[in-house]
Structure 1
Amino acid sequence: MKSNAPGQLLGYTIQFPRALYHLLISGPGDAVCVEVLGDVATLKPDGGVIAEEDKSSIVGNPLTNKSTDLWKTFSNWIEAIISRDLDVGKMKFILYCNQSGRKGIVGKFSSAQNKQEAQSAIDDAKKVLNDIKKDHDIWEYYDFVVNQNESLLAEVVERFELQIGSDAGYDNVRYEIKRKHVPESQIEFFMHQISGWLQKVVTEKIAARELVIISWEEFDRQFSVLFDRTRRRELLDFTLQYPPKNEDIQNQVKVHPIYLKQLDAIGTTDDDILEAVSDFLRADVNRERWIESGIIDENVASDFETKLINFWKNQRKRIDITENSLTEEDKGQLLLGDCKSRKETIRDMSPPCSTIAGTYHALANKPVLGWHPNWEKLFPKQKEA
Structure 2
Amino acid sequence: MADSSNFQDRTSADKTSIGFDYQFFYFIDLLLNMKIDQKIGYEVKDDIHIELDSKNHILMQTKHTLKTNAQGQTVNLTERDGDLWKTIHNWIKVINDKDEKREFISEQIQFMNQTKFVLISNKASSTNNQLLKKIDAVQKDTLSILNFQSYLSKLISETSTKKADGTGNKLKNYMRELVSQNDEWLKKFLSKIEFQLNQDDLIQKIKNTIRVKLFEVDEYRINNALDCIFSNLSIWKYENVKKGEKIYIDYEEVETKLHKCFLVARNNKLPKRKFQFDLPNDLESQIFIKQLVDINDIDPLDFVQMAEYTTYKLNILKHLESWKQAGYITEDELDDFNEECVAIWKNLHRAAHRTSRGLIRDNEPIPELIKMNALNCLDNIRDQSVKIDDEELNIKMSNGQFYHLSDNPSIGWLLDWEVKYKI
Which TM-score band (shorter chain)? 0.5 to 0.7
Counterpart of 1:93 in 2: which secondary structure? strand
Matched, 1:197 2:205: no
1:56-205 correspondence runs (5 A): 56-60=64-68, 61=75, 63-83=77-97, 84=100, 85=102, 87-103=111-127, 104-108=129-133, 111-112=136-137, 113-114=139-140, 117=143, 119=145, 123-132=150-159, 136-148=169-181, 151-185=184-218, 186-205=221-240
- Between the aligned partners of 1:117 and 1:34, the Cα distance in structure 2 is 35
- Structural RMSD (CA): 3.1
Q: Give me the TM-score of the superposition, normalised by structure 1.
A: 0.55
Matched, 1:45 2:59: no
Q: Structure 1 pair 30/129, CA: closer, same or farther in 2 (3 Å)?
A: same
Q: Is the 8 A contact 2:232 2:258 kept in 1?
A: no
- Between the aligned partners of 2:160 and 2:95, the Cα distance in structure 1 is 27
Instruction: Return 5+ residue gaps in structure 1 as ranges.
Output: 236-303, 308-343, 349-385
Q: Structure 1 pair 162/106, CA: closer, same or farther in 2 (3 Å)?
A: farther
Counterpart of 1:229 in 2: which secondary structure? helix
Counterpart of 1:96 in 2: which secondary structure? strand
Counterpart of 2:170 in 1: which secondary structure? coil
Matched, 1:13 2:21: yes
Letter in 2 for 1:203: Y
- Between the aligned partners of 1:171 and 1:183, the Cα distance in structure 2 is 15
Q: Is the 8 A contact 2:269 2:391 kept in 1?
A: no
- Between the aligned partners of 1:110 and 1:187, the Cα distance in structure 2 is 39
Instruction: Return 5+ residue gaps in structure 2 as ranges.
Output: 1-12, 69-74, 103-107, 162-167, 271-332, 337-387, 393-423
Q: Structure 1 pair 182/194, CA: closer, same or farther in 2 (3 Å)?
A: farther
Counterpart of 1:210 in 2: which secondary structure? coil
Counterpart of 1:45 in 2: which secondary structure? coil
Q: Is the 8 A contact 1:118 1:158 kept in 2?
A: no
Shift of 1:128: 3.6
Q: Structure 1 pair 221/121, CA: closer, same or farther in 2 (3 Å)?
A: farther
Q: Is the 8 A contact 1:55 1:62 kept in 2?
A: no
- Between the aligned partners of 2:116 and 2:226, the Cα distance in structure 1 is 27
Q: Which residue of 2 aligns with 1:211?
A: 246
Q: Is the 8 A contact 2:79 2:132 kept in 1?
A: no
Q: Is the 8 A contact 2:38 2:51 kept in 1?
A: yes
Counterpart of 1:184 in 2: which secondary structure? coil
Q: Give me the TM-score of the superposition, normalised by structure 2.
A: 0.50
Shift of 1:219: 0.5
- 1:205-254 deviation per Cα after TM superposition (whole angstroms, max 9, x unaligned): 1111111111111001223222111111479xxxxxxxxxxxxxxxxxxx
Counterpart of 2:96 in 1: which secondary structure? helix
Q: Is the 8 A contact 1:115 1:158 kept in 2?
A: no
- 1:54-80 deviation per Cα after TM superposition (whole angstroms, max 9, x unaligned): 111111337322122111101111211
Paired residues, what number? 238
Q: Structure 1 pair 136/189, CA: closer, same or farther in 2 (3 Å)?
A: same
Matched, 1:32 2:32: no
- Between the aligned partners of 1:152 and 1:196, the Cα distance in structure 2 is 43
- Between the aligned partners of 2:119 and 2:269, the Cα distance in structure 1 is 37
Q: Which residue of 2 aligns with 1:382?
A: none
Shift of 1:28: 1.4
Counterpart of 1:148 in 2: which secondary structure? coil
Q: Is the 8 A contact 2:134 2:148 kept in 1?
A: yes
- Between the aligned partners of 1:157 and 1:346, the Cα distance in structure 2 is 62
Counterpart of 2:66 in 1: which secondary structure? coil
- Between the aligned partners of 1:171 and 1:122, the Cα distance in structure 2 is 40
Q: Structure 1 pair 182/199, CA: closer, same or farther in 2 (3 Å)?
A: farther
Letter in 2 for 1:27: K
Q: Is the 8 A contact 1:7 1:56 kept in 2?
A: no
Q: Which residue of 2 aligns with 1:284?
A: none
Q: Is the 8 A contact 2:77 2:126 kept in 1?
A: no
Identity over aligned pairs, percent: 21
- Between the aligned partners of 1:110 and 1:12, the Cα distance in structure 2 is 28
Counterpart of 2:194 in 1: which secondary structure? strand
Q: Structure 1 pair 122/97, CA: closer, same or farther in 2 (3 Å)?
A: farther
- Between the aligned partners of 2:176 and 2:90, the Cα distance in structure 1 is 13
Matched, 1:225 2:270: no
Q: Structure 1 pair 159/47, CA: closer, same or farther in 2 (3 Å)?
A: same
